[in-house]
A and B are shown apart, each in its own frame.
Chain A
Amino acid sequence: MSEKPPSILPPGTRFDPSLAARMMTRHGHGGWLGIQYHAHGEDWVELKLPWREDLVGIDGGVGGMGVLASGPIISLMDNATSMSVWTKSGSFVPHATLDLRVDYMRAATPGQTVIGRGECYKLTRTISFIRGVAHDGDPADPVAHVIGTFMATHGPYL
């Protein structure tokens, strides 16, 4: 299981995605990638990943010259969907990713910031079901779709 970010928020605290995202995207893998808060709603969170030269994949291989590698997109979507679960639940509940599937529609445009929208469409006591879309400017022309599940590890979501 992929353990999730900081226990900087004590369990039980009302989860504020904008505040939490700003803190959680500063450290570790998300901080290194440069992931930032973008927007949120009742059961969704949007994070963004600005293009950077050292995040590029195989030249002429995985997408072509200057194209963002797919690893950073997986991380962006893992973080955005993870936060959407706490947003829907209303509180910070420690959890772990059980599985994540990413469908790549097309290569991200070199130089463009990628926006990842994660949505929690169902919460049970211990399992959360998530989906998400990544795009680089036009939500109608996505870069990737994701679907997956998380499991609450230290007490129920509801």
Chain B
Amino acid sequence: MLELAATATTSGGLVSSMMASLAIGVPSLAHLSPLDIAVIVIYFAMVMWIGFYLKKRANTSEEFFMAGREMTAWIAGLSFVSANLGSLELMGWAGSAYQYGILAAHWYWIGAVPAMLFLGIVMMPFYYVSKTHSVPGYLKLRFGQGSSIVAACSFAFMTILMSGVNMFSMALVMKVVLGWDITFSIVISSLAVAAYVALGGLRSAIFNEVLQFVLIWGGALLVPILGLIEAHGWTGLKAQIIHNFPTQDYLHMWKGVGHFSDNPMGVHWTGIVFGLGFVISFGYWTTDFLVVQRVLAANSLRSARIAPVIGSYFKMAVPFIVILPGLLALVVLHNPDGSLMHLVGEDVVSAHPGMGLHSYNEVLPLMLVRYCSPGLLGLGITALIAGFMSGMAGNVSAFAAVWTYDIYQPLINKKAPDQHYVSVGRWATILGVVVSIGAAYLVMNAKGIMDYVQALFSFFIAPLLGSILMGMFWKRATKAGGFWGLLIGTITSIGLWAWVKADPSALRYVAISPDAKDMAENMYRALWSFGATVIITFVVSMFGTARPVAELNGLVYGATKLPKEEPVPFYKNEWYWAALAVVLFLALNIIFW
């Protein structure tokens, strides 16, 4: 989802590409055998089994919305990463790697790892100790109802809309790759997600996300392994890329980002480090309830702290199944006549119907078809479906919790029996799926919406980060400061976006350079809106009266007495594993500098 939020172009391009393919009636890329179908059907049977099995353990609101806070660090950590690893991300970023090279890995390393470690080590104690049920719930405790309602409404609205966009995108993928009917794909996958989340609540969503995470790796890992064998290893791959594309640098992450025009993405290192690496990444990984909810379900503070650290290792590994296939495609994909296949943009595909061209975003399906025989192909397709379902289940379970705790309870029915809120949560899950389906068809019938939806999502990330950080680390921040900071930060983000839409030349001010492209614009817009939130929160707070420190226990750094944790051997200590993750993260960036 972060990748979606951060980049309108990549996933928007994926959908546009798919739509173009549909419009010109391109035949599907793969045909499934009965064995492949059996693999997919067994997967659906398994997720439903889990949902029905866990129904008996979702009777109280704590069980339904927070999985009873019984998840181990491993389960919470894998679910944390899996909720983010959608099929659209897998396909879109494999296409980006083909187009931009290893530069795309920034969204998996600097765009995720520092934020995940910060969440686990620094922020999690406050979320966990405050016993909040959601991120808007934390804002309510810290800044009062106003900020919480703003955050809850924007989150609920965007979560459902994004769920619809993902649903439609997944259905398009199935249509283009397999020739499946769009409505069939939407209905089957949505019903499955609605059933297992409504039945088993967050526990069912988390269990299935762990299962889906294993399947994503099981289905996708074979492609880079066989690809590297065919390309004669990493050294052979590098040599062939340099030979095939002598004028382009596909193999360095930092060398070409000294200036906007020196790299195909049109990004600058300041945007990557501060915009992506700080504001967007920290905003998503530390304040988006979709992912934070998984960690809040951990069975202890130590588990809650170590879960994102575990997740960071898997996040660092994801480029192996996403970025590497994109790079491999640069050298192993060939046309039937033996010449090197050149994937193109969606505009070129649609301008030349019937020529058998493929777009960048078809990299992963093309590679799956290249290496996977019956059974394995079904496994690969199941991985894509599992990716979609884990993302969608994340959306609807987070929506159900925020709707029930942060909108329904404070505004509609303050005092009801616990069982009533569980019922509301179940119905909210089903309602969320139904509205998502509506959003999917809305996107289908209004093609330009896709880019707007993704830009909309990014509006709320950066201001929310500003509010949460000011609230968590500055005792002086007031209720009014939190509310106005969040509101004006959001308006700033929307205003900057509208300014560039109305006058494209404004890009030179918003993104500092006229050479900047969409991704750079997103990064700098996030920076400005974060800055606006922090400044407004600071200024308004200075004119108000701060809450007594005693009231801030469990909410603010310096005013909170954290529970003493039992000493554990170093290999069970979150600091040890976080330090190791930092070393690995730095090493990867240096190796691929």
**Are these two chains actual partners, yes or no?**
no
- List chain B positions with a Cβ less than 8 A from chain A: none
